[in-house]
Amino acid sequence: LEKNEDGSYKTSNFYQNEMARPLKHKADGESEDQVSKVLLYIESVVYFIYAVAVQLPNRPDGRQQQRYSYGMLRDTAELLK
């Protein structure tokens, strides 16, 4: 996981919105090279998983946050199908 300049870890929003989503959209637009498309999807999945990994240990509110995190993992798994 990446760190900010102050030593704290990047937030889940960073991994989801700044890294994963742009890669997924780039993969969606890739029509010529299927290998590049698959690699972009795989890279975006890694960042979606990072987003969940950063979220889970930092939330004391329990079940609601877990449902959101597991929902994100489920959606990421759907992306791979």
Confidence (pLDDT) at 71? 74
Task: Please state, in angstroms and rounded to a whole number, the distance separating the CA atoms of residues 33 and 9.
Answer: 34
- With respect to residue 76, please indicate whether it lies within any of the assigned structural domains: yes
Whole domain around residue 68: which residue ranges? 12-80
Question: Is 7 domain-assigned?
Answer: no
Does the residue 3 lie in any domain? no
With contact defined as beta carbons under 8 Å apart, do 12 and 51 qualify? yes
User: For the chain, how many structural domains are there in total?
Assistant: 1
63 part of a folded domain? yes
Q: What is the pLDDT of residues 46-74, one digit of tens each?
A: 988 888 888 766 555 556 666 666 777 77
More confident residue, 57 or 41: 41
In a domain, 22, yes or no: yes
Is 4 a domain residue?
Answer: no
52 or 29: which leads in pLDDT: 29
Instruction: Give domain status of residue 2, yes or no.
Output: no
pTM over 0.75: no
Higher pLDDT, 20 or 67: 20
- Is the pLDDT higher at 56 or at 43? 43
